[in-house]
Structure formats: C-alpha cells, structure tokens
Amino acid sequence: DQQVKQNSPSLRVQEGRISILNCDYTNSMFDYFLWYKKYPAEGPTFLISISSIKDKNEDGRFTVFLNKSAKHLSLHIVPSQPGDSAVYFCAASVRETSGSRLTFGEGTQLTVNP
Amino acid sequence: EAQVTQNPRYLITVTGKKLTVTCSQNMNHEYMSWYRQDPGLGLRQIYYSMNVEVTDKGDVPEGYKVSRKEKRNFPLILESPSPNQTSLYFCASSLSWDGRDTQYFGPGTRLTVL
C-alpha cells in the first residue's frame, strides 16, 4: 500500500521555465512533508520541507505547496536550471510512539533542457 | 567534513554468502536508518535505530539484520542473500528521531546477488 505517490516518473522542462512536481498521499496522520533531491551516484539530499499546519514554504527558487484537503503537495522550481536535473523524492512523516517514520514516494526524474 | 560513509560502494555476490554493508556517521546523530531503492518503488525503510542498542523494523525488514553497538556505526547484515535483495542501499542519519530533522544520506551501495 503506497501511502505516498508520485504519479509522474519523469518531467522535462526548458531552462528558465517553471518545473512543477506533484505528490499525493493517503495517510491523514502525516504531519510533516519533505522533498529530497538525488543526483546519479550520490545519496539523496534534503531540499525543502513543510509542516502540515502551513500551506506554503518558500526557499529561493523552490516553493512547496500543501493542500491538506486534497492530500496533495507540489514542488515548484522557478526558474528551472540545468543543474536542477535530478530525481526528486517526496517524503512524509508521521509521529509514532516508537519515533517518526518517513515514507517516500517513487521519485520523479526532472530533466531541464538548456 | 560532516558525512555518512558506506562500504563497499559496489558489491556482487552469490546467493547464500553472508555479507555486511558498513555505515558510519561523524555527526553524533542519534537516529540512523537503512533504505533500499528499487525502480518504481522509491526508497523503502529496512531498519532504523533511535540510539545505541535500540533498533526496530521498517517497512521491508525480511532477510536483513542490523546492530547498533556504537553511536556512529550501523551495519546492515544479510545472513543469506537472495537475488530479490539486489538493490541500491542507502544509510541515513539524523540528529534525532523527530521527522522534522533532516536526514543525511550516504552515497549508496549497489548490491547484486547472483
């Protein structure tokens, strides 16, 4: 049962345009959401996060939007740059008695063409 | 430099031959975790540890063992590897088990079981 889903395996955009990566979740108990970026032959690195009590968080060219009623979040990258080409993972966290559990989506391969 | 290291980076082995993948972090983090990445499935948690001598199962623990005898090390043990354990493995650490803490990932270990 995939609780966090990224339905688009890949996305291609032109340099300078907006990239929008989407993520849907099913568990209403998730209280924190994160995006990680992964380059080939490297481990994922943290990009941006948002608490469930907010609907938007911005950090430079990256903005994450959260729509709790739709159980949907998205990552906007504006303007996109070739160096943004990577796999992006959406992740969600829920607090349990034994600690927080992090559930990842399948990932979306973003390619930004020069 | 703050980092998570994994060894080996690449490993080809045969069914049934016990192996250990080491993981070490130099950030004095309490929380450590192992993930496997498979095409179309994203990152799935195998085991995690909230502190020394405290470990627990993640989503896909079958066929794996872990130990946490020291804070900095969290080895992943495959007692009798099988071909379905062919995957890309990542170790991660964070300051605490709070899902809001950024997880720092190692560079990955690509394992092939023949």
Pair of tokens at residue A25: 């979740």
- At residue A80, the pLDDT reads 98
Contact (CB<8Å) B99/A101: yes
Contact (CB<8Å) B108/A107: no
- At residue B60, the pLDDT reads 95
Question: CB pairs below 8 Å between A and B: how many?
Answer: 66
Q: Which residues of A touch B25 (CB under 8 A)?
A: none
Question: Which residue, among B87, B100, B56, B86, has the nearest Cα to B74 in the 3D structure?
Answer: B56
In this prediction, residues B49-54 reach a mean pLDDT of 91
Rounded to whole angstroms, how far apart are CA atoms B38 and B33?
17
- At residue B96, the pLDDT reads 86
- At residue B101, the pLDDT reads 85
Rounded to whole angstroms, how far apart are CA atoms A70 and A24?
8
Q: Are A112 and A82 in contact (CB under 8 A)?
A: yes
**Per-residue 3-state assignment (H helix, E strand, C coil) for chain B:** CCCEEEECCEEEECCCCCEEEEEEECCCCCEEEEEEEECCCEEEEEEEEEECCEEEECCCCCCCEECCCCCCECCEEECCCCHHHCEEEEEEEECCCCCCCCCEECCCEEEEEC
Chain B: nearest CA to A103, how far in angstroms? 7
- At residue B3, the pLDDT reads 94
Q: Which of A31, A43, A89 sits opposite B107 (nearest CB)?
A: A43
Pair of tokens at residue B95: 């300051």
Contact (CB<8Å) A32/B4: no
The pLDDT profile of chain A, 114 residues, written as one tens digit per residue, is 679 999 999 999 999 999 999 999 999 999 999 999 999 999 999 999 999 999 999 999 999 999 999 999 999 999 999 999 999 999 999 877 666 778 999 999 999 999
- To 5 degrees, how large is the angle CA B15–CA B59–CA B75? 55
Cβ neighbours of residue A69 closer than 8 Å, sequence gap 6 or more: none
In this prediction, residues B99-104 reach a mean pLDDT of 86
Is it the case that residue B28 has pLDDT exceeding 70? Answer: yes
A52 to chain B: nearest residue by CA? B100
Q: Does A32 touch chain B (CB under 8 A)?
A: yes
Contact (CB<8Å) B43/A93: no
In this prediction, residues B59-84 reach a mean pLDDT of 97
Is it the case that residue B100 has pLDDT exceeding 90? Answer: no
Chain B: nearest CA to A106, how far in angstroms? 4
